[in-house]
Copies of this chain bind each other. A is one copy, B any other.
């Protein structure tokens, strides 16, 4: 049997994405399934970070993953092999974002019964994914140190729509000119007070704070 299913999601025919996203959030609320939309550049470390997070949280939460990509299965293989989580690969057919209807197709393909937390790994991109409400409960972005601390200046919408920021690859901080404080200030100017988690998904540094925050988020939301 294959480790995961591959689903080609189709562009939505509905114009009212925001309303449909709200409907999806209500349904998720009824089922107590927390959907987290994870965005970031290609190579920012989305898959590695999710792999680590899932392995840290899987004793406490029943976790599923939707891997969205233009047309490869690389990330779904990695996640399935390294975590054992329930995984589906979504192919966007060239599109660089997911809207709420594409997300819904993915959730139906994955099956959300008996899941507490579903990660949606969005297409690697700092532009288009920020423009569409996926219907997720919350969204976060992963920015990696090698990308540079100026990214909030250049992609302001992304850093405005997120609920938390992960600064990844802090283990290579000594080799890059990355000013973590300046970066955080730029993000907070756009999006005051959001939590910022400096981590190295590779070495594990900072991952416990991130995992604890997310576990608290999901538990509090389920108990609301």
Contact = CB atoms under 8 A, between A and B. Distances in A.
A144 interface: yes
A154 interface: yes
A142 to B, nearest CB: 12
A74 B74 CA distance: 34
Number of identical monomers bound together in the oligomeric complex: 2
B154 A42 contact: yes
A172 interface: yes
A216 interface: no
Contacts of A147: 41-43, 146
Interface stretch (A5-13, A21-29, A105-113, A126-134): A126-134
B70 A154 contact: yes
A202 to B, nearest CB: 9
B96 A43 contact: no
11 contacts: A42-B151, A42-B154, A43-B144, A94-B127, A94-B131, A124-B154, A127-B128, A128-B128, A146-B169, A171-B175, A172-B176
